[in-house]
């Protein structure tokens, strides 16, 4: 018999408890041992809840109970989650988490603590919600030299962009809807400005390339500057604007992780990933490319990954799995994104085609319905980003927007 403690009874925590009891019989069969939830930690009161007797506000109840060998951390944030998780691991209790901020900022340390204490720190739910990506990347694709990963890793922004494009909803209305549906973080800045996607690409990068990639080292841009006009140009170009988290190997042996909105052409499966769904392409020397697709956020989809990790942790019986990476002391293995060769979409006002030709040479012009007379939109030729910056500044007129074109074929 193994007892479980659930830390946090918010959207994912309540989903974890609900799913566990809904499918308890088959979960126990798959785990190969009897399991039950003994504690739910939350500072709030839940009077009348069918699980009322399990609630505690004191982490020591869990830490000091030797019956509890499995812990699901679904509180979010680094503090106090980090202290709680570390203390559980130090007591030899395996921890599973959906907390991408915790894994992205403290993953290497927690993985080391788990190994030192003969238990496991698992985080399938931290990236891609319901989508199996952590284990497939570590296990099923282990024979490959991974060359790149690119994905739509944030359900909220994909939901917002989809509503803006398909239903002409304004940004605030779409964000409110995403929050009501439980997709958005409490503070939507993390979704909208790309920090959430950044944490997830850090986790995938660390796992794929074996060294901890810290969020501060990753260039990150969100969707707050994307306009309905940009979305319309992208559609007429033959694609869609998506918030892309990616990492790729560079010619000098470094890696380039990055988060930014990008024009994704219709030939790439990622352009068809809509609403709250996430899609992740993994490129490897043997597989060429594989795609993972599914619900990237929400109560039961995320709980699905949490409960699966609990089942796996229950089966491991004191063995510590190899799904881990080394800590890194500096970021010398991260390439400078300004050296990356990329094509840009450019929207300008008050610039002539002659000037565009003088600065960029031949470009691909785009059009949209009701395009104002002074507005030009085009795709510039590929060049290093730092060279593009110089040319864009030389255009004159007014630069209304620039968006990178996703370079990974798909």
Q: List contacts with ligand HSE (CB under 6 A).
A: 129, 154-156, 183-185, 191, 196, 296-297
CB-hemisphere CA count at 13 Å for 277?
14
Q: State phi, psi for 262 to the nearest 5 degrees.
A: -145, 150
Q: Which residues of 22-54 are buried (b: 16+ CB within 10 A; e: fewer)?
A: eeeeebbeebeeebebbbbbbeeeeeeeebeeb
Residues taking part in catalysis: 200
Contact assessment for residue 384 and residue 340, using Cβ atoms and an 8 Å cutoff: yes
Least distance CB 117 / ligand HSE (angstroms): 27
Comparison of 174 and 379: residue with beta carbon closer to ligand HSE: 174
Least distance CB 380 / ligand HSE (angstroms): 31
Per-residue CA distances from 88 to 38, 47, 58, 85, 118 (Å) = 15, 27, 13, 5, 12
Least distance CB 51 / ligand HSE (angstroms): 24
Whole-angstrom Cα distance, residue 187 to residue 194?
Answer: 12
Of 182, 217, 179, 218, the closest CA to residue 329 belongs to 217
Comparison of 185 and 340: residue with beta carbon closer to ligand HSE: 185
Comparison of 122 and 380: residue with beta carbon closer to ligand HSE: 122
Whole-angstrom Cα distance, residue 382 to residue 360?
Answer: 10
Comparison of 156 and 271: residue with beta carbon closer to ligand HSE: 156
Find the residue with minimal CB distance to ligand HSE.
156
Least distance CB 258 / ligand HSE (angstroms): 18
Least distance CB 18 / ligand HSE (angstroms): 18
Comparison of 185 and 309: residue with beta carbon closer to ligand HSE: 185
Per-residue CA distances from 306 to 28, 312, 349 (Å) = 15, 10, 49
């Amino acid at each position: 018999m193994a007892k479980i403690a659930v830390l946090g009874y918010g959207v994912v925590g309540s989903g974890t408890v609900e799913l566990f009891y809904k499918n308890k019989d088959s979960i126990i069969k798959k785990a190969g041992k009897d399991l039950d939830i003994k504690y739910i930690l939350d500072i709030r009161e839940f009077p009348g809840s069918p699980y009322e007797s399990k609630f505690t506000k004191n982490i020591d109840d869990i830490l000091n109970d030797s019956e509890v060998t499995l812990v699901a951390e679904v509180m979010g944030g680094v503090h106090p989650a980090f202290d709680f998780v570390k203390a559980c691991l130090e007591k030899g209790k395996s921890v599973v988490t959906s907390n991408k901020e915790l894994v992205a900022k403290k993953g290497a340390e927690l993985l080391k603590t788990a190994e030192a204490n003969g238990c496991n720190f698992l985080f399938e739910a931290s990236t891609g919600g319901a989508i199996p990506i952590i284990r497939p990347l570590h296990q099923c694709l282990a024979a490959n030299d991974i060359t790149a990963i690119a994905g739509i890793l944030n359900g909220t922004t994909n939901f917002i962009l989809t509503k803006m494009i398909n239903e002409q909803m304004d940004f605030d209305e779409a964000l409110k809807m995403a929050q009501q549906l439980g997709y958005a973080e409490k503070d939507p800045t993390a979704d909208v400005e790309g920090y959430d996607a950044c944490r997830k690409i850090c986790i995938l990068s660390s796992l794929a390339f074996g060294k901890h990639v810290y969020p501060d080292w990753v260039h990150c841009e969100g969707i707050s500057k994307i306009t309905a006009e940009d979305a319309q140009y992208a559609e007429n170009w033959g694609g869609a604007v998506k918030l892309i988290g990616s990492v790729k190997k560079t010619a000098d042996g470094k890696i380039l992780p990055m988060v930014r909105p990008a024009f994704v052409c219709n030939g790439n499966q990622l352009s068809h990933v809509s609403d709250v769904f996430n899609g992740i392409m993994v490129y490897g020397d043997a597989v060429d490319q594989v795609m993972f697709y599914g619900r990237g956020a929400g109560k039961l989809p995320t709980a699905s990954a949490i409960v699966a990790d609990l089942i796996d942790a229950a089966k491991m019986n004191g063995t510590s799995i190899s799904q881990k990476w080394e800590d890194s002391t500096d970021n010398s293995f991260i390439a400078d994104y300004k050296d990356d060769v990329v094509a840009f979409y450019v929207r300008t006002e008050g610039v002539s085609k002659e000037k565009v030709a003088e600065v960029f040479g031949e470009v691909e012009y785009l059009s949209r319905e009701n395009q104002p007379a002074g507005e030009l939109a085009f795709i510039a030729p590929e060049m290093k980003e730092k060279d593009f910056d110089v040319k864009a500044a030389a255009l004159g007129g007014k630069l209304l927007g620039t968006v990178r074109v996703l370079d990974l074929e798909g």
